[in-house]
Structures are given as C-alpha cells and as structure tokens.
Structure 1
C-alpha cells in the first residue's frame, strides 16, 4: 500500500501555476477531482495527473 500524500489548495495552485482562487473555483464548480477531509479540501496527485491528461488539448494540423 502506498503512502497517500494529499495536496492542499495552495500546493495544487503552486503545482499548476495558478492562483488559489482558481483552484477553489474548480472545486466549487466540481471541475477537478478532490476529497473533503472534514472542512478541508485535498487533492490526490495521481488523480490530478489523470485529470490533466484527460483535459489535454491536442494541436490541430
């Protein structure tokens, strides 16, 4: 069993190169996978990698 290291909102924003506000909007619109741990929002890095791959836009031409 792997050790689960979940990311917080600020950590995910830093990893994505976005603002905390943008990450919180993704959560409120349920556009990104997340876990609720009590009142906290946490992200599994593996889920985020899959989510990013699924939303990749390939170039045309």
Structure 2
C-alpha cells in the first residue's frame, strides 16, 4: 500500500509540474485527446498500462 501511495504522489507531482510549467501545451493536448477516436484512446491506454507494468517489473529486479 505504501508503494501505491508513493506512485500516486509521484504522478500528481509530475502532472502538477507539467500543468504549472506548460499550461497552454497541456490545454492543447487535452483538446486533441478529447477529439481523438475512442479506439485510439483505448489503444494508447492499453499501451501505457503495459509499458508501466513492464517498467515496474524491470525496476523491481525482473531482469
């Protein structure tokens, strides 16, 4: 549970920095994402989830 909370805190910190440093770029990215087809968003989400799991596996000594 500590690792989950640490990961969520890290995500919030990185997102907060991006919103603070590049607000217009984030706004444009959100508009582009909102206009993307659902299938493309689903594939990007699945790809991100797989990449995250692989990254965690490697970071935890999987390789």
TM-score past 0.5 threshold: no
Structure number having the greater strand percentage: 1
> Could you say which structure has the larger radius of gyration?
2
TM-score (norm 1): 0.31
TM-score (norm 2): 0.30
